[in-house]
């Protein structure tokens, strides 16, 4: 709370300033400015255990110029600006702890250009990854980053998101070529050209990717695309233990097999998926895998992976050869979060993620399972284990103060465990409000001060999504 | 010159301050501080057409703590600090236009740790890529980034270098996991953990990669590694025209063939290589290619590439099946810069590079060749064409003012051409002193101001390699 109190001394939450800005927005944008409590709460509400802190108004711009106008207006009155994409974030990224104006990108969801021959495209921030892939399919192209949820591309860039395909295709940092951004001073910049690589100055693209709206508002994104693979093979494979499943993932990566997806579900998560998605999987740790390539190459990868599975006593391997079987399989994986929540209907999901060097993965997962068992908490585990990244979805009765306290303590131990293994407090969810308290332990105060210096340099009045990532003194 | 004059008002070049710092360094580091003109000139001399601007002293630290001590001392007296790796940079990165202390990493070239099971390692900045690969070979691993020259890893990170393998393995931004850096305030930070991905705050790693020593001094680098491929196939293929060769590269990328290297040499460059490396290649545009993978996969890639070559009327393809033939081939490619220089012995090589979206590549190269012909300048062209990146090595008699003027004008037209094609003024050489004047045209003044704001935030006294990337007012 000290941090928040300090921030508020820099960040105007003066009701008169807010009133002035809302008035000006309303006369400029008419009914594209909404102040009803329901809409405001909806635009602060995400899949998070953190309390809802609504903005003072939600505005729906239609162009980058609209966004620039909104930011200039807010800047003139030192009113906070919070960007909103599809509302799938997990760490309170879109909450408005100091009030302010939410810029919701619902109406900015166009594909601006597809350069098929350059394998890139430019989009507005509000488009979701499924909408984009729908648009691209006819051209034999796809955008591979897949966090499960149908997130907006702007939000995915803002949180440096990754997901199931990252083990092969990288994260948003690897797949954003350039950003169009409105800065706190009202200037609109483009961070890079469409060239595939550049050494022309500081990498503003990568500085903005993962900055969660705290350094600027993203109004356009140029993305790398991939060709839809000639062949795709997917399947699932049970293991006797989480260690064996993790070790299969580790060996797969170390062998250089270019697996496109390699996902761990622990026994509890499999049980949840069986119930939710009406599957009949053996309720034991499983790997879901997918290989992309030519027919011959996919066959070769599958065989190499089969050898590893046998070596570790896993199997039998169950191939989903038909596209509809594959779709059902990945739908179940994507619904795993909802399946997990259905294990304890009505309680809150407290979803977190950590990422460790892959040699530490098995130990980190197993220790976490032991910790869960000892603490008496229910939390399915699933992970993008090819990257050493896994999720723990704590199912917590928020009305039970003791249970909440146990969940928070376990969460802190999980992060301490990951950091002790040279890992990170978040592999892909981002910092938002939920992970701010762990950044000093992860980066050290000097590095955190460097982040603060960058934040102050680009947003001296702290109007860009204040109260996220780093608190300013 | 205005920019330099402005900068010098912020940057102390007070002879007394320099004298004090050198005295303190000498009493602390003894004969690891050198002030002889020859050594100072050697540490400003790189493969560049820009005049030699030596530092006031060169110091050879042995540890990161030494570096921190040196930076703190310089910071206390506002004396510039310039980092020096292997001296292979091309844009005046290591010049000392305001004097100051050169930190030369000759004695900091250790491998700190290799985590083979995580496919990563940590090294000191002075190690060269060949030294590192020598160290890694026994473990079946290699570091794939290969700029040709035997550059230091610290310098490669500082310039966001890439080179021949980047088309498959990415650039330094994709292969640096974390940096240990001494900031201008004397603090030593680590920018990230060893986890393969993270969303934990601003991406200081990517901000520092490519910052050319202007935001901090790199004292350690954690790198991703790759397994040495099971099979490697390489070969060369002549084409009737540069367009046909570029189009073959374009089709290769668009077809999703994971080519490891695909290098264009224009006819003049081939002629130069024949003379310098005693080859007997047909003196026509050529592609040098290399495929990595399993035996079967490499065969498949080669066949797919062969189809493309036939379609474009290229060939015959000449495979280097024996490792020694392959080594000779790539040695010739790596010596291409020296081969080019030998076309006009005694003159200066004015080496530059641009990068464009691949659909513009053929047009950009062909227009540049026409421009060269019209201007009467000698300049072999070679390029990492899978990334749309190519080099023009202008061979210029620096004593001939008219020729120098024509070369500089052609250079400016080349960059304008690349920018008009949505490209960048440098794909991999970096900005240094040579490309500063082009950044406003590439990024716009607002983006450049954002870069300046970041620079000022992290280096308020402008002691970190001043006069590079952005000039401070």
Instruction: Average the pLDDT over each of A438-452, B96-110, B310-324 and give the range with the smallest value.
Output: B310-324
Mean pLDDT for all residues in chain B: 94
Place of tokens 């000639």: A230
Residue B7 has pLDDT above 70, yes or no: no
Cβ-contact A329, A320 below 8 angstroms: yes
Give the pLDDT confidence score for residue B8 in this predicted structure.
Answer: 46
A391 or B47, which is more confident: A391
Give me the mean pLDDT over the A327-351 stretch. Answer: 91
Residue A245 has pLDDT above 70, yes or no: yes
Residue A5 has pLDDT above 70, yes or no: no
Per 3-state DSSP, what percentage of chain B is helix, strand, and coil (rounded to 5)?
Answer: 40, 20, 40
Residue A338 has pLDDT above 80, yes or no: yes
Mutate to test the interface with A, among B197, B224, B389, B449 (most CBs of A within 10 A): B197
Contacts of A380 (CB under 8 A, 6+ apart): A265, A266, A268, A269, A272, A336, A339, A340, A343, A392, A393
Give the pLDDT confidence score for residue B11 in this predicted structure.
Answer: 53
Residue B4 has pLDDT above 90, yes or no: no
Give the pLDDT confidence score for residue B325 in this predicted structure.
Answer: 87
Residues from chain A that touch B387, judged by Cβ atoms under 8 A, are: 196-197
First to last CA, chain B: 12
Give the pLDDT confidence score for residue B150 in this predicted structure.
Answer: 95
* CB of A447 less than 8 A from some CB of B: yes
The string of pLDDT tens digits covering residues A69-93 is 999 999 999 999 999 999 999 999 9
Give the pLDDT confidence score for residue B103 in this predicted structure.
Answer: 98
Q: Is the dihedral of CA A104, A110, A115, A116 positive or negative?
A: positive
The string of pLDDT tens digits covering residues B200-225 is 999 999 999 999 999 999 999 999 99
For residue A389, the cross-strand partners are A355, A384
* CB of B460 less than 8 A from some CB of A: no
The runs of H, that is alpha helices, within A312-395 are 323-334, 336-341, 361-375
Residue B3 has pLDDT above 80, yes or no: no
Give me the mean pLDDT over the A112-118 stretch. Answer: 96
Cβ <8 Å between A197 and B456: no
Residue B6 has pLDDT above 60, yes or no: no
Mutate to test the interface with A, among B141, B170, B181, B200 (most CBs of A within 10 A): B200
Give me the mean pLDDT over the B234-241 stretch. Answer: 95
Give the pLDDT confidence score for residue A11 in this predicted structure.
Answer: 53
CA distance B212 to B362: 30
Residue B9 has pLDDT above 60, yes or no: no
**Inter-helix orientation angle B361-375/B242-254, to 10°:** 160
Instruction: Report the residue from B173, B204, B427 with minimal CB separation from A447.
Output: B204
The proportion of chain B whose per-residue pLDDT surpasses 70, expressed as a percent, equals 97
Cβ-contact B388, B361 below 8 angstroms: yes
Q: What is the least distance, in Å, from the CA of B337 to any CA of chain A? A: 20
Instruction: Report the residue from B210, B357, B423 with minimal CB separation from A199.
Output: B210
Give the pLDDT confidence score for residue A473 in this predicted structure.
Answer: 60
Residues from chain A that touch B451, judged by Cβ atoms under 8 A, are: 201-202, 204
* CB of B378 less than 8 A from some CB of A: no
Residues from chain B that touch A436, judged by Cβ atoms under 8 A, are: none
Residue B46 has pLDDT above 60, yes or no: yes
Residue B391 has pLDDT above 80, yes or no: yes
Residue B37 has pLDDT above 90, yes or no: yes
CA distance B147 to B129: 9
CA distance A306 to A289: 11
* CB of B303 less than 8 A from some CB of A: no
Q: Which of residues 423-442 of A touch B (CB under 8 A)?
A: 423-431, 435, 438-439, 442
Mutate to test the interface with A, among B196, B291, B431, B451 (most CBs of A within 10 A): B196
* CB of A91 less than 8 A from some CB of B: no
* CB of A450 less than 8 A from some CB of B: yes
Residues from chain B that touch A250, judged by Cβ atoms under 8 A, are: 117
Band (B473; pLDDT cuts 50, 70, 90)? low
Give the pLDDT confidence score for residue A323 in this predicted structure.
Answer: 86
Give me the mean pLDDT over the B14-19 stretch. Answer: 93
Give me the mean pLDDT over the B56-75 stretch. Answer: 98
Band (A49; pLDDT cuts 50, 70, 90)? confident
Give me the mean pLDDT over the A96-117 stretch. Answer: 97
Cβ <8 Å between A210 and B203: yes
The proportion of chain B whose per-residue pLDDT surpasses 90, expressed as a percent, equals 88
Residue B396 has pLDDT above 50, yes or no: yes
Cβ-contact B317, A160 below 8 angstroms: no
Give the pLDDT confidence score for residue B318 in this predicted structure.
Answer: 86
């Amino acid at each position: 709370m000290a941090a928040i109190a300090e921030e508020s001394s820099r960040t105007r939450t003066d009701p008169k300033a807010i009133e002035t800005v809302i008035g000006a927005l309303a006369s400029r944008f008419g009914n594209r400015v909404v102040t009803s409590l329901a809409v405001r709460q909806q635009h602060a509400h995400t899949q998070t255990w953190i309390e809802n802190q609504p903005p003072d108004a939600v505005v729906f711009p239609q162009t980058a110029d609209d966004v620039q106008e909104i930011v200039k207006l807010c800047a003139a009155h030192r009113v906070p600006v919070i960007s909103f994409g599809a509302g799938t974030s997990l760490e309170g990224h879109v909450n408005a702890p100091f009030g302010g104006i939410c810029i919701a990108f619902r109406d900015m969801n166009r594909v601006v250009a597809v350069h098929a021959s350059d394998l890139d495209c430019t989009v507005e921030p509000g488009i979701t990854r499924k909408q984009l892939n729908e648009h691209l399919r006819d051209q034999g192209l796809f955008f591979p980053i897949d966090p499960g949820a149908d997130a907006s591309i702007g939000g995915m860039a803002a949180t440096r998101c990754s997901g199931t395909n990252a083990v092969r295709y990288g994260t948003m940092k690897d797949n954003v070529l350039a950003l169009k951004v409105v800065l706190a001073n009202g200037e609109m910049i483009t961070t890079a050209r469409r060239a595939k690589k550049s050494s022309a100055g500081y990498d503003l693209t990568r500085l903005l990717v993962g900055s969660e709206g705290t350094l600027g508002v993203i109004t356009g994104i140029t993305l790398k695309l991939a060709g839809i693979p000639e062949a795709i093979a997917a399947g699932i494979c049970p293991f006797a233990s989480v260690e064996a499943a993790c070790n299969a993932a580790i060996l797969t990566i170390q062998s250089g097999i270019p697996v496109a997806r390699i996902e761990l579900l622990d026994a509890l998560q499999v049980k949840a998926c069986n119930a939710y998605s009406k599957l009949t999987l053996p309720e034991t740790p499983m790997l879901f895998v997918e290989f992309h390539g030519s027919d011959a190459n996919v066959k070769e990868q599958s065989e190499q992976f089969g050898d590893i599975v046998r070596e570790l006593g896993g199997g039998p391997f169950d191939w989903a050869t038909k596209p509809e079987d594959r779709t059902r399989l990945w739908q179940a994986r994507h619904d795993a979060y909802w399946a997990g929540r259905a294990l304890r209907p009505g309680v809150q999901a407290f979803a977190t993620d950590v990422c460790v060097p892959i040699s530490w993965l098995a130990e980190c997962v197993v220790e976490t399972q032991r910790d869960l068992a000892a603490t008496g908490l229910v939390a399915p585990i699933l992970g993008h284990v090819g990257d050493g990244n896994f999720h723990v979805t704590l199912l917590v009765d928020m009305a039970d103060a003791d249970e909440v306290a146990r969940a928070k303590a376990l969460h802190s131990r999980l992060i301490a465990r990951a950091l002790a293994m040279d890992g990170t407090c978040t592999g892909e969810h981002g910092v938002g409000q939920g992970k701010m308290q762990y950044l000093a332990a992860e980066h050290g105060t000097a590095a955190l001060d460097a982040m603060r210096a960058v934040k102050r340099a680009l947003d001296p009045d702290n109007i860009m999504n204040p109260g996220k990532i780093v608190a300013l003194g």
